[in-house]
């Protein structure tokens, strides 16, 4: 059967991982793969996670199944972390998923089954897996203007004009914070404008919250989403614990649906889980529940997360300053204003290839840079290479 199949093109980030691993150069720098790295260049297990795992190991007496929607304590903890007290628990349906990608997939497939005519509106640009999943499901999609490459900011006029064209039942896919790949985030007034557009057109916001705590802070990063939840009758949310808990390989995700039809929504989510993977993974979810449910562990985790956030901010400032020194201009000043792990540096695919071939610096082909992959030791060399190649 498989001898007649043409393999699909490999995902560009997965392909980049393979190229980096095969590169024998000692000074190579991986700025492509989206993982946090410490100032020493390591992706650590957080201390709060280690403590939680030790407690779970000592107390857990069974690896039997949990419910189709996952552990209810984890779901409630994630609801509180993301939505706070913005909406009543009676209006929030929830289900666990294998990672944030699984949550995105479950939301999109659920909407496609319930409303096959819905169009999914995605930002230009967006995380490549968004359109890939949408296309795989056979959904209709359109883009709305988002990033202004000339300024390194958001094309607010273009974005709002495009979103005004949405129809009732369409999805507007939004990045909750730390926009991937641009790093350019929505402001409070943008969230209010989007809420007003949804109220007028009947479109439904779908928020991908993959980086809560990596932008301006845990509470600050959720304010836009919470405004939607308090303003609109229905909001769809896909969230990940890969980044802010460092649980990349544990695949911890959650779907939250703000709705007046909670019981029906939870039934649909449980059915979708059953059909796609049955029971969601539990170990990472139990770790998150243990941390968020214990005041001392929660404080340790929040302090660790804040240090990570500040380290990324420091990397941004240091890189912008190094590039200013190398170029004699403020051409890359926008890097210091962006938030989260990623920014686009304005490189063409050819320039990205030169950075890899000539300098051992690995970026995704669209010029997306993982700011968290930088260290104080590599920033000067990276700045020099970028200034030379992008001159």
CA 349 to chain centre: 23
Phi, psi of 10 (to 5 degrees): -65, 145
Categorize the per-residue pLDDT at 25 as very low, low, confident or very high, splitting at 50, 70 and 90. confident
CA 231 – CA 381 distance, rounded (Å)? 47
CA 62 – CA 127 distance, rounded (Å)? 38
CB 154 within 8 A of CB 135: no
CB 228 within 8 A of CB 222: no
CA 33 – CA 368 distance, rounded (Å)? 10
Catalytic site residue 190?
no
Question: 374 in helix, strand or coil?
Answer: coil
Catalytic choice (94, 195, 210, 229): 210
pLDDT, average across residues 140-149? 96
CB 202 within 8 A of CB 172: no
Q: Which two tokens stand for residue 52?
A: 């939680």
CB 33 within 8 A of CB 370: yes
Q: What confidence tens digit (pLDDT) does each residue in 99-133 have?
A: 999 999 999 999 999 999 999 999 999 999 999 99
Average pLDDT of every residue of the chain:
94
Does the pLDDT at position 365 exceed 90?
no
Nearest in space to 154 (alpha carbons), one of 184, 199, 188, 131: 184
Nearest in space to 30 (alpha carbons), one of 363, 386, 336: 363
Catalytic site residue 30?
no
Categorize the per-residue pLDDT at 87 as very low, low, confident or very high, splitting at 50, 70 and 90. very high
Q: What confidence tens digit (pLDDT) does each residue in 233-264 have?
A: 999 999 999 999 999 999 999 999 999 999 99
CB 345 within 8 A of CB 386: yes
Catalytic choice (93, 103, 118, 127): 127
CB 195 within 8 A of CB 223: no
When mean pLDDT is compared across 40-44, 166-170, 193-197, the lowest value belongs to: 40-44
Domains located in the chain, CATH noted: 10-44+308-389 (3.90.1150.10), 65-293 (3.40.640.10)
Categorize the per-residue pLDDT at 213 as very low, low, confident or very high, splitting at 50, 70 and 90. very high
- In the prediction, which pLDDT does 232 show? 97
**Greatest CA separation for the chain:** 62
CA 91 – CA 231 distance, rounded (Å)? 13
Catalytic site residue 243?
yes
Catalytic site residue 210?
yes
Residue 56 has, within 13 A of its CA and on its CB side, a CA count of: 20
Catalytic choice (155, 208, 221, 282): 208
Catalytic choice (94, 184, 229, 243): 243
Please give the torsion angle defined by the CA atoms of residues 183, 154, 144 and 253, in that order, rounded to the nearest 10 degrees. 30
HEC string for 181-241: CCCCCCCHHHHHHHHHHHHHHCCEEEEEECCCCCCCCHHHHCHHHHHHHHHCCCEEEEEEC
Question: What is the end-to-end Cα distance of the chain in Å, rounded?
Answer: 50
Q: Where are the alpha helices (DSSP H) in 115-187?
A: 129-136, 156-163
């Amino acid at each position: 059967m498989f001898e007649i199949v043409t393999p699909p093109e490999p995902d560009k980030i997965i392909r980049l991982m393979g190229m980096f691993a095969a590169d024998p150069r000692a000074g190579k720098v991986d700025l492509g793969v989206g993982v946090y790295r410490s100032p020493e260049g390591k992706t650590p297990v957080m201390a709060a996670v280690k403590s939680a795992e030790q407690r779970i190991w000592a107390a857990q007496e069974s690896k039997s199944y949990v419910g189709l929607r996952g552990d209810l304590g984890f779901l409630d903890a994630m609801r509180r972390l993301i939505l706070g007290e913005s909406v009543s628990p009676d209006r929030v349906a929830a289900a666990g998923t294998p990672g944030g990608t699984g949550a995105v997939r479950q939301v999109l497939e659920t909407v496609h089954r319930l409303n096959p005519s819905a169009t999914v509106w995605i930002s230009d640009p967006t995380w490549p897996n968004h359109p890939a999943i949408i296309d795989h499901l056979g959904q209709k999609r359109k883009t709305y203007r988002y990033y202004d490459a000339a300024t390194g900011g958001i094309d607010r006029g273009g974005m709002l004009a495009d979103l005004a064209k949405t129809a009732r039942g369409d999805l507007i896919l939004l990045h909750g914070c730390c926009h991937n790949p641009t790093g350019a985030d929505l402001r409070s007034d943008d969230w209010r404008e989007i809420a007003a557009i949804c109220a007028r057109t009947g479109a439904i916001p779908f928020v991908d919250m993959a980086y809560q705590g990596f932008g301006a802070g845990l509470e600050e990063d959720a304010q836009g989403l919470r405004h939607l939840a308090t303003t609109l009758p229905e909001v769809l949310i896909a969230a990940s614990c890969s980044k802010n808990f460092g649980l990349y390989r544990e695949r911890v995700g959650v779907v939250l649906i703000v709705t007046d039809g909670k019981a029906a929504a939870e039934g649909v989510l449980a059915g979708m889980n059953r059909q796609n993977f049955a029971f969601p993974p539990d170990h990472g979810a139990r770790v998150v529940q243990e941390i968020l449910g214990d005041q001392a562990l929660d404080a340790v985790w929040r302090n660790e997360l804040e240090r990570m956030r500040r380290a990324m901010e420091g990397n941004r400032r240091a890189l912008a300053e190094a590039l200013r020194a190398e170029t004699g201009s403020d051409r890359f000043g926008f890097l210091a204003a962006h938030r989260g792990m990623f920014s686009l540096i304005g490189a063409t695919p050819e320039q990205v290839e030169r950075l890899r071939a000539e300098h051992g610096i690995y970026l995704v082909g669209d010029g997306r840079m993982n700011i968290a992959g930088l260290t104080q030791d590599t920033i000067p060399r990276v700045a020099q290479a970028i200034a030379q190649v992008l001159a």
